Structure 1
Amino acid sequence: MEVEFHGAAGEVTGSMHLVIAAGRRILLDCGMIQGSREQERRNFDDFPFAPESLDALVLSHAHIDHIGRVPLLVKRGFRGPIFIHRAGADLMPVMLEDSASLAESDADRANRRRRAGEPVAVPLYAVEDVAPAMRLVQTLDYDRRQPILPGVELCLRDAGHILGSCIVELWADGRKLVFSGDLGPPGTPILRDAARVSEADLVLMESTYGDRNHRDREGTVHELGDIFEQAWRDRGNVLIPAFAVGRSQELLYWFTRYWDQWQLDRWRIFLDSPMAAKVVQVYGRHHDLFDDEARKVWEQKPDPFHLPNLHITESTDESMAINRIENGAIVIAGSGMASGGRILHHLAHNLQRRSTHVVFVGYQAQGTLGRRLVDGARWVRIHGRDYRVNAQMHTVGGLSAHTDQRGLMDWYGGFRARPPLVLVHGEDKAREALAGEIGERDGIEVQLSRPGMRLTV
């Protein structure tokens, strides 16, 4: 069994790893690279393998940095089966169609500003390219080991990251590979905790937060409550960049739990996303994947998606109307890294106000607008125009969808023997810190993946 690393190898986005075993070629994830314009242009590059040479694609979950280049892979020749958990398959067309729509809008906007002699902007793929990819999808359940190709067996375990997220177990050539996908922190609302795996010949593990530990849930709850109270006193708005799948649902869950304590009845709450209604429907079809506490919350009236002052805005006109509200609004909008989507319009209208509070609840990759704001930028450019940043920034780590250093070390510590470990999906600072901690504790040499690196198991 051989593994080649072609994405999320020294960075957090663009997950893509190739497994060659039993005479077959299996790709793990085919994610989009996110970040600066220069970084995102790499999505247009040729794949480092012939798409038609692949026998299968296995997807760990439906976030764009793990599935975002699937339509492109199919467009360029891939025709094999695509394996994903059934909940991930439900989310997949929602995510990909939105990604394609945003890409088309960005290309149109760029072409309107195009100067003479500049190349015409084109989207990575179009909405019409999603359907051919979805026709290749085969859905799986958790905890069922089954053959997917001659000599290759697969089992998906719950990763506790988003709905339908998976740890991938792959058997071939008498060897076993475990790919963590993205691991959620223990105690994440709505979702069950990540499954433990005890045996492997090689482990590929994410390392997004390998150099830090999150604030505990209780501290996070107090922090959010304090932010809302301060924003109310400042007579401002609260903007929360959040991915349409995962953090948005968790935020609404917390809003339900702390409705009275945070005095949320005085606010107007907006989930501003054309995907929101579709994602709500997907969650409604998969209550069996919720943890016990979440199932109880969903049985209450109202449930988190039907709060009395929650407005799920789908149309552009509805979204634009939010920007006429100068105070008293909590706006949850994508994208989670402020790299595109409707949150950009809300930031453009609110960043210059000192009364505005911007709350980041997830990882902000290098090169993204979210990262620049978190790092203290005083001026930012949005849609070709510069804006002074007077708004107050908050990073609430306790709501991250990724587990922290403690959680990663604990999950790897569940393997009975200490199999070879390769860290993926992390910047070098985080990976080096985690590699050092695990190496010191377990007496092993932890490897950091690099683009093009190949390992034999």
Structure 2
Amino acid sequence: MATIRFLGAAQEVTGSCHLLESEEIGKVLLDCGMHQGGDIIDRLESEDFAFNPHSVDAVVLSHAHLDHSGMLPKLVNQGFNGPIYCTQATADLLDIMLRDSAGLYERDLERENLRRKRQGKKLLKPQYRMQDVERTLSLCVGLEYCEQVLLGANAKLRLHDAGHILGSAIVEITFNERGKDKCLVFSGDLGKRDAVLMNDPSYLKKANVVLMESTYGDREHKNEDDTLEQLESILAETWQRGGNVMIPSFAVGRTQELLFYLGCLHQQGKLDNWQIFLDSPMAIEVTRIYEKWVELLDPKDTAHLHLDHHKPLEDFLPNLFMAVTPEDSMAINKIARGAIVIAGSGMCNGGRIRHHFKQRIWNKNNTLIFVGFQARGTLGRILVDGAKHIKLFGEPYLVKARIETLGGFSAHAGQSGLIKWIGQFKPQPKVVLVHGEPLAQQALADKLWQEQQLAVEIPALNHSMVF
């Protein structure tokens, strides 16, 4: 009998990892994500695989975000040598994201070992090296949406557009086991309908088992018009105070969505006085990948900004400056007012955004805008929850900047979107909620029972299910 073991994103929203085992297809890993929050060295040291990586036959990757892909180099380092199936656009994004993550890890590990050497402590060995990233990228098999490939001897794999970020996929695996046809669908991260730049998530009709994300299972998002109006209002208020705006943003998806919204405001003549800085070398590279794969984006939105293969996105936002070098980033500190700074990381655990916090978070005239989910244990979540004192680079800082949250920017489906998506399956499959915090999952479970008489399972970490 086929089994699924839930090894990450079980009653939490990071570290997506599920192991599918069957006589027909062997061992297939659905995602291999890193937990977000805390120190990357501690995470890599403490997170051991609950299986032998050498025994895994294949990985199917839903999308490129690190909480779904970030442990792939460690998996390869420990012996995995099979194919990594993903969309072609995801493979392109991985080339950027895994190299960037490895570079940060190598620098942090070097600093930690220098500290340990001074203290006479045992040095840490790297959990993976850049050569493991190179090997990981070489194992990627890029697929088109709806292209069918064999997974093992008899199983069939297809990827469908999840509408979450560029290249994101819903995974469909069909196989026959002991004379019974079976189908497993893994939603990955589902986008919301009418999301900026993204197509609507694909609706599938049949499955025996569905693993469905539940990040926003307890709430809805604001619509596009309300979000744009709120952003415009925040910018106007900050301008009147003579302040600056800081926006922590994920390099993939959220940054491109922000640039679209700012482009809309520019077209309306509402950004003439603002200077906009994209202070993230990785986000700049990712934006180029979005331009390469513009045919995968929503044609209505790309037409709105006249995007095509020949013009870069910033051509439609002339106030935009790409801060590539550290010197470019530091120069932003000299601007007293009127700067919109978009920088990584999205949950404030690293990246250049923390340096901007150091310069501006203690000033009441400034505004900090969150445009994405902040997981438990991250600096972003601490700030959203109202912390007045934080530590940056070992030093205490008083939080006086205004904290705002734009819910309409989420790349995840809200409660009604999740309910509508799962409701398309006929007959009702067995539904398992993953990638969500307990309160959100329970709220979604209650709603699904009320509206569809659909009972769901909410597995704990390391729980296994037979189907």
Question: What secondary structure, in the 3-state scheme, does the structure 1 residue paired with 2:272 have?
Answer: helix
Separation of aligned partners in 2, 1:288 and 1:42: 37
Aligned residues with identical type, % of pairs: 45
Aligned to 2:346: 336
CA deviations on 1:412-447 (whole Å, 9 max, x unpaired) are 111121111100001111111111111222223211
* Deviation, structure 1 residue 404: 0.8
Match of 1:351 among 358, 361, 364: 361
Aligned to 1:207: 214
Question: What secondary structure, in the 3-state scheme, does the structure 1 residue paired with 2:461 have?
Answer: coil
Aligned to 1:198: 205
Aligned to 2:403: 393
Match of 1:417 among 420, 424, 427: 427
Separation of aligned partners in 2, 1:187 and 1:119: 53
Residue 148 (structure 2) pairs with residue 126 (structure 1): no
Residue 440 (structure 2) pairs with residue 430 (structure 1): yes
TM-score (norm 2): 0.94
Residue 319 (structure 2) pairs with residue 317 (structure 1): no
Separation of aligned partners in 1, 2:125 and 2:292: 36
Aligned to 1:53: 55
Where do 5+ consecutive residues of structure 1 fail to align?
A: none
Aligned to 1:267: 274
Aligned to 1:71: 73
1:15-414 map, 5 Å: 15-21=16-22, 22-37=24-39, 41=43, 44-111=46-113, 116=119, 120=123, 124-172=127-175, 173=177, 174-261=181-268, 263-299=270-306, 304-306=313-315, 307-414=317-424
Separation of aligned partners in 2, 1:191 and 1:223: 21
Separation of aligned partners in 1, 2:30 and 2:194: 27
Aligned-partner residue type, residue 138 of structure 1: V
Q: Cα–Cα, structure 1 residues 38 and 133, in superposed 2: closer, same or farther, change >3 Å?
A: closer
8 Å CA contact 1:101, 1:126 repeated in 2: no
Separation of aligned partners in 1, 2:435 and 2:307: 38
* Deviation, structure 1 residue 279: 1.3
Separation of aligned partners in 2, 1:249 and 1:366: 25
8 Å CA contact 1:16, 1:28 repeated in 2: yes
8 Å CA contact 1:161, 1:182 repeated in 2: yes
Q: Cα–Cα, structure 1 residues 341 and 127, in superposed 2: closer, same or farther, change >3 Å?
A: farther
Between stretches 444-453 and 158-167, larger displacement belongs to 444-453
* Deviation, structure 1 residue 403: 1.0
TM-score (norm 1): 0.96
Question: What secondary structure, in the 3-state scheme, does the structure 2 residue paired with 1:169 have?
Answer: strand
Q: Cα–Cα, structure 1 residues 162 and 348, in superposed 2: closer, same or farther, change >3 Å?
A: same
Separation of aligned partners in 2, 1:212 and 1:102: 34
8 Å CA contact 1:88, 1:165 repeated in 2: yes
Between stretches 333-342 and 320-329, larger displacement belongs to 320-329
* Deviation, structure 1 residue 255: 1.1
Separation of aligned partners in 1, 2:147 and 2:12: 31
* Deviation, structure 1 residue 383: 1.6
CA deviations on 1:198-235 (whole Å, 9 max, x unpaired) are 10000000011111111122111110000110111111
Q: Cα–Cα, structure 1 residues 427 and 123, in superposed 2: closer, same or farther, change >3 Å?
A: farther
Aligned-partner residue type, residue 137 of structure 1: C
Q: Cα–Cα, structure 1 residues 254 and 247, in superposed 2: closer, same or farther, change >3 Å?
A: same
Separation of aligned partners in 2, 1:378 and 1:99: 30
Separation of aligned partners in 2, 1:214 and 1:238: 22
Where do 5+ consecutive residues of structure 2 fail to align?
A: none
RMSD, aligned CA = 1.9
8 Å CA contact 2:11, 2:438 repeated in 1: yes
Separation of aligned partners in 2, 1:227 and 1:408: 30
8 Å CA contact 1:256, 1:303 repeated in 2: no
* Deviation, structure 1 residue 109: 4.3
8 Å CA contact 1:108, 1:121 repeated in 2: no
Q: Cα–Cα, structure 1 residues 402 and 176, in superposed 2: closer, same or farther, change >3 Å?
A: same
Q: Which runs of 4+ in 1 moved over 6 A?
A: none
